[in-house]
Amino acid sequence: MIRSMTAFARQEIAEPWGVLTLELRSVNQRYLDVSFRLPEEIRVVETKLREGIQKALSRGKVDCTVRYQPQQAGAEDIQLDDKLIQQLANASVQVEKHFSEVRPVSALEVMRWPGVLQTPEVEAEVLHGAALKLLDDALKDLIKAREREGEKLKQILEQRCDGISEIVIEVGKLVPEIKANWRERLMTRLSEIKGELDDTRLEQELAFMAQKVDVDEEIDRLNTHIDEVKRVLQQSKPVGRRLDFLMQELNREANTLGSKSTDARTGTASVDLKVLIEQMREQVQNIE
């Protein structure tokens, strides 16, 4: 199934130890480029998070953001660092020796001192396991979103393929008439200058001009490339690079068709083809 590279997914888990949230954002990128915004408690598993993303995705710029909010401790969970409190008390006594009037330190002021009021610590393994589980779930959602967007892109590309095929068919119908008109004009011109060219030079000029206006090969290649695009769109593996290459080939044939044009209608067809191909190329840039 075709996947877009643009998607978003979010997963959150709330446990007695706190709330953990993981977000994935991805946009188009030629290769896979992963960046992280992690709290210190999660940073130790960054390598595992990266490996998980690399296994699931092949292209795109992916931003992974993890937020951790520890659970606020209740009255029954309050723990104090007695050693630190004693050190603060001793320090307060030392300060009072140097001043005649010193306001006593309140209990609330002591509790506000960093490290005095302790919150229960969650086991690192529990937190890390939760982060990895969130990543698995978020990747599943991200891939589903990519596939939904990819299905829309596939439909757009197939419509453009049909449009190109219609133009190519019309050009094919015009070819016999264009060749006949060209031959008539050429024979008229040759009759005027026949005495100026020897037979060998005349044959060379005829062969050169015939090759210059013959677009059968370009039409065949356009049809072949369109068939290949439709075939690739049915594949389940990443196909973005393959489609990008086919867009280049389609554009090459459209340009050649225009350069060989001896009729205004084929010149217009060449322009119309390039417009459709450019529209396809823009969409292909978003496909994984």
For the four alpha carbons of 176, 259, 161 and 234, in that order, the dihedral sign comes to positive
**Each residue's pLDDT tens digit, 10-35:** 999 999 888 999 999 999 999 999 99
Q: What is the DSSP letter of 287?
A: B
Question: Taking the model in full, what pTM does it have?
Answer: 0.73
**Each residue's pLDDT tens digit, 164-219:** 999 999 998 888 887 777 777 767 766 766 655 566 665 666 666 666 667 888 89
How do strand 117-118 and strand 79-80 relate by DSSP bridges? antiparallel
Sheet with 18-27: strands ordered across: 7-15, 18-27, 60-70, 32-37
For the four alpha carbons of 241, 283, 28 and 235, in that order, the dihedral sign comes to negative
Query: How much is the pLDDT for 24?
Result: 97
Residue of 59, 38, 46, 263 lying closest to 146 (CA atoms): 59
Amino acid identity, position 163? G
Query: How much is the pLDDT for 118?
Result: 62
Question: What would the mean pLDDT of 235-241 be, rounded to a whole number?
Answer: 92
**Each residue's pLDDT tens digit, 82-105:** 777 777 778 777 777 777 676 777
Overall residue count recorded for the chain in this entry: 288
**Each residue's pLDDT tens digit, 117-167:** 665 566 788 899 999 999 999 999 999 999 999 999 999 999 999 999 999
How do strand 60-70 and strand 18-27 relate by DSSP bridges? antiparallel
For the four alpha carbons of 136, 137, 140 and 143, in that order, the dihedral sign comes to negative
| pLDDT winner (highest mean) among 35-39, 70-74, 81-85, 253-257 | 35-39
Q: Which structural domains are found in the chain, ordered by start?
A: 7-72+123-147 (3.30.230.40), 75-118 (no CATH), 150-284 (1.20.140)
For the four alpha carbons of 181, 184, 187 and 193, in that order, the dihedral sign comes to negative
Q: With contact defined as beta carbons under 8 Å apart, do 11 and 142 qualify?
A: no
